Amino acid sequence: MRRLLLSLLLIPLLLPLSAQATIRVAASVEPLSMLLRELLGDEVEVRTLLLPNQNPHHVSFTPGQARTLREADLVVWLGAEAEPQMTALVKRHGRAALALTDLRSLYRRDGDDGHVHHADDDHHHASLLDPHLWLYPDNMRALAAALSAHPLLAELPDWPARLAAFGDRLDTVEAGVRAALADHAEATYLSHHDPWAYFADAFGIRRPMIISHNVEASASSRRFAELSRSMAQQQVVCVMAEPEGRRALLERLCGDGCHLVEADPLGRDLIDARYTDLLAHLGGLFDRCLSGP
């Protein structure tokens, strides 16, 4: 009986890691979780740190979110430049971490001056980084490759097949979105601020006319009048309204010959979606928006 009990106690020590426990990965925002789910399937437990009801521009993390990081075997996030509010939390609670901004092949934009840089360009200004990095598909291709080489995940089977399948799906979705938006390259649209620069670069459309660089700012009477004149002159056909934008203000600006389309760059309105699903979804929303009422 003692030998049997001892044998039973030793079994967990003799099993490979994959048989003992599921790898737990925490992603800072939902698009990163979408990529992880698409690549890793059910073999890895993926949890998103940012809750659907939290404003990504001003996050106050809860004890439950800190626990999610503490329990994760790997944290995948945008990086300190894009998510400065997460830096201390990752250092304090994260075990292993992979940041998108650490990838040398990253395509990046400065948020205020609109300049484009790559991660190996020493002349970019970190404080100006536009954080919506996931909306440029090549950035997510680079992240997929980095995940395949990460020591914690490299032991998962069939990485060449996983990457090839993801690449094929992404190529197909990109081509479909680009074809759908090809006739709208010069169409003008309004957004409260501009989360769409990477998407516009990737798919050959214009960046939006904006109310303010601050998504929480309103518009003075003078600014409202300026915007109304500009929208009429440039024949603005639609408004892309993200969840954090001031909906009433956007509706007032969107008058005759204009329609409003709700679009979340984080894809929080999608359930258990893959990253390629998010791109296809956003492509459909832009096509509907830029096609006019």
* pLDDT tens track for 250-289: 888 887 788 999 999 999 989 989 999 999 999 999 999 9
Is the per-residue pLDDT at 19 higher than 70? no
Task: Of 236, 272, 271, give the one whose Cα is nearest residue 38.
Answer: 272
Q: Report pLDDT for 245.
A: 79
**Alpha-carbon distances of 142 from 16, 32, 210, 263, rounded to whole Å:** 29, 12, 30, 25
Q: Report pLDDT for 211.
A: 86
Q: Report pLDDT for 2.
A: 55
* C-alpha angle 177-183-189 in degrees, rounded to nearest 5: 85
> Which residue in the block uniquely carries the two structure tokens 């003799």?
14
The chain-wide mean pLDDT, for the chain, equals 86
pLDDT: is 78 or 237 the higher one?
Answer: 78
The b-or-e profile of 197-211 (16+ CB within 10 A means b, else e) is bbbbebbebeebbbb
Q: Can you read off the two tokens belonging to residue 250?
A: 């956007």
Domains of the chain, CATH where assigned: 15-157 (3.40.50.1980), 179-290 (3.40.50.1980)
Q: Can you read off the two tokens belonging to residue 237?
A: 């056909």
Is the per-residue pLDDT at 170 higher than 90? yes
Q: Band of the pLDDT at 206, cuts 50, 70, 90? A: very high
For the full predicted model, state whether its pTM sits above 0.75. yes
Q: Report pLDDT for 13.
A: 45
Q: Band of the pLDDT at 1, cuts 50, 70, 90? A: low
Average pLDDT over residues 108-121: 61
Q: Report pLDDT for 162.
A: 95
Round to whole Å and give the CA distance between 276 and 229.
38
* Contact partners, residue 117, CB within 8 Å, separation at least 6: 108, 109, 110, 123, 124
* Residue 77, strand partner residues: 99
